[in-house]
Amino acid sequence: MRNFNNWIKSMLINEYIVKIRQGKSFGASLRVLDMCCGKGGDLFKWKKANISHLICADIAEVSLEQCQQRYNEIVNRTGSKDRGFAPIFSAEFITADCTKVRLREKFGDPSMQVDLVSCQFSFHYSFESLSQAECMLQNASETLKPGGYFIGTIPDTYDLVSRWQKTDGNKFGNDVYSVEFLCEDKIKPPLFGAKYNFYLDGVVNCPEFLVHLPTLRKLALKYGLEFVSFERFEEYFERFKDEGRSLLGNMQALETYPPYHETPLLGDPERDYHHAIEYMQNLPANHRKIGTLSQSEWEVTSLYAIFSFRKMKTIWNSEGKPEYVKS
């Protein structure tokens, strides 16, 4: 499942890198801000995208140190111009809470604008409060060039609330994950601060918060970010599975069913693969194996969605306040 999520991120990043390059001259620089970068799990994706500069920001100092260490290891493996290798992108690392701190003031060059802002599996933490959500969106918006993109992955609130409403209590899930809501109103949760705990393989992360999509779109527009797309992971997978077929294999994003000899299944063989069996019944007889996830893992990953916004052109009115128009 982790590999599948990585495949989704890879396809999403590539989709918008391609869009950006289509509007640039050949060889033009491409800069990226990776908000909530964690330990640098996307560094190789940025290397493959051939960007010129990366700004990594995260609240956890230890994670950011590991991110910088991974970057240095990539630099050492890649080599330098003097040794005949193409140089990797330059990078800077900022320890900051992206929901409370203005990142631009911490840039090496505060006037720098980027082509792409990425925030993977983290933006929903900003919906703890209105001020935090606005800070996060401001950080994305004011660093983007007009026509640049803000992309990311978040839980789908509609699906989360739907599953919550179908339970008697405040907790639901399966052997792989569980969600426990810490607010009481199933019919109309608060727009901000709708808190829940998410457990994956028994490990709880920080409290997470629902992201009300209409509210997100309205707030984003306030900061000059025009809504582009919102797709659940399964929809995004269906759209890109053919284009990304070889990458699915290279990343081992799906497990083979039926498994090869003596290869154990990740899920419960008795109950987690009925969907795969039914799917194979409609395939030609010589189609003996497919790539899939266990039913339990599909239930987790289907909770998530990709989003994207485009930065509008900024103009300044007579009062010195920004106004936005489509670029």
Which residues belong to the annotated binding site for S-adenosyl-L-methionine? 9, 36, 58, 97, 120, 125
List the binding residues: 5-6, 9, 36, 58, 97, 120, 125
List the binding residues for mRNA: 5-6
Question: What is the DSSP-derived secondary structure letter of residue 218?
Answer: H
Helix pair angle (213-222, 130-143), 10° resolution: 50
Residue with tokens 């509210």: 215
Report the Cα–Cα distance between both ends of the chain, in Å, rounded: 38
321's CB contacts (< 8 A; 6+ apart) are none
Burial 72-98 (b: 16+ CB within 10 A, else e): eebbeeeeeeeeeeeebbebebbbbbb
Of 152, 44, 143, 134, nearest to 103 by C-alpha is 143
Burial class (CB in 10 A: 0-12, 13-18, 19+), 159: middle
Per-residue tokens: 321:
């306040």
